[in-house]
Structure 1
Amino acid sequence: MNVSDIKWEYIFNIELAIENFGYVLSGIGYTLLISAVGFALGLIWGFILSLMRISQLTLLNKFAAIYISFMRGTPTLVLLFLLYFGFPFIGVYFDAVPAAILGFTLSSAAYIAEIIRSALNAINHGQWEAGMSLGLPRQKVLWRIIVPQALRIAVPPLSNVILDLVKSSSLAAMITVPDIFQNAKIVGGRENDYMTMYIMVALIYWGICSGYEVLQRKLEKQFGSY
């Protein structure tokens, strides 16, 4: 096959892309909502799980370890299908968007928990001893001394989690969420040109992730100066 035989107009039709850009981009709200809320809730749940993992209470430690292992070993798409298509069989119903947010929250929390746990463990134990020697209770030592230092370590890997969430949010299209990927699929099917639409949606995701990368660098600089 020669390069001259390639039908370049079927690889990226600029006119089709421009004509449908607005429609595809109309789903960006769902993409940002699912990824941002899923990350925020995952951060809260992940932090709780990380505290369970470093807890000396065996029951809490084992529960967190099993949960993290299960969520890291289960495809997110399977979890979304379970919440949206499976739970109705036991009388529990979720709309598509809440199901997507819940699914990404439960999944991302497992990765966030391990990131935070490793960041907390990276702080020298002498920091704990120094804080408690000043008469501070363990909780204040954690929040005022340990957590601020751990955040500086955790920012880069946490940024990777939210970038992965932005890209993984495209899976929500599989449970009928009208995000940018779902809209691109609709146009691609209607116009019989998936190549153009998938290239365009890839560029949109790249743009979103680039924005988060700028925020990541600012946070790293802020925590670095701190």
Structure 2
Amino acid sequence: MFSNQERIDRIIGILIDSFFPILKAGIQFTIPLTIITFVLGLILALLIALARLSSVKVLIVLAKFYVWIFRGTPLLVQIFILFYGLPSFGITLDPFPAAVIAFTLNKGAYSSEIIRAAILSIPKGQWEAAFSIGMTKSQAMRRIIIPQSIRVTLPPLGNSFISLVKDTSLAATITVTELFQKGQQIASVTYEPLWIYIEVAFIYLIFSTVLSYFQEKLELRYDKGIAK
């Protein structure tokens, strides 16, 4: 049996030894997975939002159905369907691509509502002003409406990005060796799950804090740009 001091020394040693491997997994997998998913999800979200706002009934119905499905079902279930369910139809995905697809589809649905609400928040007078100088609807959307909508979407999309960093921990369930999965591996060897998971939480907190700082800077910079 270990004495109290020996146990404390052992735990400290484990935490020191495991910190950089867990951090490395976060940098190699968690951050890339988050960035790739967010960018693809944002593109998809814009397309879905524009479809919802179009006058084409088929596009509206399809966009609503997509949002209904992916906002109404758990992200974990969506991941499992893609990774464990699709092989039943002969479609096998590697863990990382499966995670990218699942997170993209999920975030695309949520972000589309943020973008749609931001576009709808722009006063109708902006549309009328654009039409009065001969712009088409697509030109008005591209040059007037969307640039103004960016200011409205920055806070919620920034929060969504930070939330996505933490959501990527679900990729561990399909063996993506991201931050949380690495922590699980170390915990299973060291038999110190409490302290390892606290360390994992601390590293997630570091990532979230840094991203929150840059989010605030981006919002302030954009607000200054608008003010000028």
TM range (shorter): over 0.9
2:11 paired residue number: 13
Distance of 1:22 and 1:126 partners within structure 2: 54
Note the aligned Cα RMSD (angstroms). Answer: 1.6
The residue matched to 1:135 in structure 2 has which SS? coil
1:57 aligned residue: 56
Shift of 1:200: 0.4
Which deviations, in whole Å up to 9, do the C-alpha atoms of 1:99-145 show, x marking residues without a partner?
00110000000110000000000000110110011011211111111
2:101 matched to 1:97?
no
Once residues 208 and 146 of structure 1 are traced to their aligned partners in structure 2, the CA distance between those partners, rounded to angstroms, is: 32
Q: Any gaps of 5 or more consecutive residues in structure 2?
A: 1-6
The share of aligned pairs that are identical, in percent, is 37
SS in 2 for 1:69: helix
Aligned counterpart, 1:163? 162
Q: What's the CA shift string for 1:19-71, capped at 9, x where partnerless?
A: 11122122111101111110000000000000011112111111111111110
> What residue in structure 1 maps to residue 207 of structure 2?
208
1:85 aligns with 2:88: no
Q: Give the structure-1-normalised TM-score.
A: 0.93
SS of aligned partner of 1:13: helix
Give aligned pairs, total: 219
Q: Secondary structure at the match of 2:177?
A: coil
Q: Please state how far the C-alpha of 1:84 moved relative to its aligned partner.
A: 0.9
Give, in whole Å, the separation in 2 of the partners of 1:14 and 1:201: 14
Q: Which residue of 2 aligns with 1:26?
A: 24
User: Which residue is equivalent to 2:4?
Assistant: none
Deviation for aligned residue 1:180: 1.1
Unpaired runs of 5+ in structure 1?
Answer: 1-8
- Does residue 186 (structure 1) correspond to residue 185 (structure 2)? The answer is yes
Write the mapping of 1:107-186 to structure 2, written as runs, cut at 5 A: 107-186=106-185
2:197 & 2:84 partners in 1: Cα distance?
Answer: 26
TM-score by length of structure 2 reads 0.92
